[in-house]
Structure 1
Amino acid sequence: MEIAENAALIVVDVQEGFGAEAYWGARNNPEADRNIAGLIDAWQSSGRPVVFVRHDSTKPDSPLRVGQPGNGFKGYVEERRGKSGGSGLLLTKCVNSAFYGTPDLKEWLDRSGIRQLVVVGIQTNMCVETTARMGGNLGYEVFVPLDATYTFDLAGPWGWTLGADELARATAVSLHGGGFAKVVTSAELIAAAG
């Protein structure tokens, strides 16, 4: 695996509000936060750009809405955000894809000559997957370290429910098997970026 010197790490929605278990339910992958922090550290120490994406929910009951404590980044992300200097970007959105946020992600990536993306964060099957799919559709080379994402159980139609681990596996298969992204591990990316 070759990681470009300007490959962008896209840190999606790693916000305090996702800790509200009463709202979301139990999460999977308890190691995700450690792996996200490790990737941010690796990217920043190598001088690669990091994009910090914040979901500003418009739903009145969401812990992620603007003005609520849950809208803020988790502490370990906020601490690292200030270390990005000129190579970092803060992007806000109110939908699943970071490509529909402010400022315009595609415009920023193209202006910076970036063709490789690594997408991490919350939720695996929602904003991470949607951002990765759009990145692949737009012609970027996308990597998703599955162990640097997490999600929650989800109910669908006809009483169907899927557990968080099942949803994560489905995302991995769809992204990798569908050619949208290469699903890898955090350790592989850190080694390749070193």
Structure 2
Amino acid sequence: MSRAALVVIDVQESFRRRPSWAYASNPDIVGRVDRLVAAARGRGDLVVWVLHAEPGTGGVFDPANGHVRLIEGLSPAPGEPTLVKTSHNAFTTTNLEQVLTTAGVREITVCGIRTEQCVETTARVGCDLGYEVTFVTDATVTFPTPHRDLPATATAEEMLADPRTLSSEEMTARTEYALAGRFATIRTVAELTGAPPAGARA
């Protein structure tokens, strides 16, 4: 029987150092991911941690600045690999596929930051590589996204006031529409853990 794996993508301090974190769709992402991790460990699934790095850039993703680390409250257990990527998806610039193959994994569940960027791209590539992919939308984070023509110098207030800006809810919905039935099965934290996500109302 093949194993399954939970791949936790970019739930790192880098994002919390950006002003945009004030508009994060799931600021309680740590609690949600922690529930998925506990459930995966309880089933004997592999948990793989992925961090994003941009060496030499001087920004929040530059490892030299110390923010390329898991957000406090999350930590790998002994034997759980932590991979560092420099591409959007978790496969291209890491040995993730080798890790999964060695462990006999054919099913992956993905969560993390950002919904439509690194997590969605990983889901798409994983599907193309032959994995059965589950996408846990409510254990991902995204942000309001400006139109491509909005000047880079625009303030957060200007971005949010622009009618062309897509809300976090719209970004999330677009990702689900793109993935479902093509690249991944959409599931929730509650469905995968048998308990409501942290912060959810009863």
TM-score by length of 2: 0.82
Query: Structure 1 CA distance, aligned partners of 2:56 and 2:123?
Result: 24
Instruction: Give the deviation of 1:17 after TM superposition.
Output: 1.4
Give 1:186's aligned amino acid.
V
Assess, with a 3 A threshold, how the Cα gap between structure 1 residues 25 and 156 changes in structure 2: closer, same or farther.
farther
Deviation per residue, 1:128-178 (Å, 9 max, x gap): 00000101111110001111001111223234421222111111111114x
Sequence identity percentage: 35
Which residue of the partner structure matches residue 185 of structure 2? 182
Query: Which residue in the other structure is 2:131 paired with?
Result: 140
Asked if 2 retains the 8 angstrom alpha-carbon contact of 1:145 and 1:183, the reply is yes
What SS is found at the alignment partner of 2:180?
Answer: helix
Pairs within 5 Å for 1:148-159: 148-159=139-150
CA distance in 1, matches of 2:57, 2:147: 22
C-alpha RMSD of matched pairs (Å): 1.9
Aligned residues: 181
Equivalent AA in structure 1 for residue 184 of structure 2 = A
Name segments (4+ residues, structure 1) moved above 4 Å: none
Structure 1 residue 60: Cα displacement: 2.1
Unpaired stretches in structure 2, ≥5 consecutive residues: 151-163, 195-202
Residue 97 of structure 1 is matched in structure 2 by 89
In structure 1, list runs of 5 or more residues that go unmatched.
none
Separation (CA, whole Å) in 1 of partners of 2:109 and 2:58: 31
Question: Does the residue aligned with 1:147 lie in a helix, a strand or coil?
Answer: strand
The answer on whether the counterparts of 2:40 and 2:46 sit within 8 Å (CA) in structure 1 is yes
Larger radius of gyration: 2
For 1:172, the equivalent position in structure 2 comes to 176
Indicate the residue corresponding to 1:65 in structure 2.
62
The TM-score normalised by the length of structure 1 is 0.85
Task: Kindly indicate whether the alpha-carbon contact (under 8 Å) linking 1:25 and 1:153 is maintained by their aligned counterparts in 2.
Answer: no
Instruction: Give the secondary-structure state (helix, strand or coil) at the position aligned to 2:34.
Output: helix
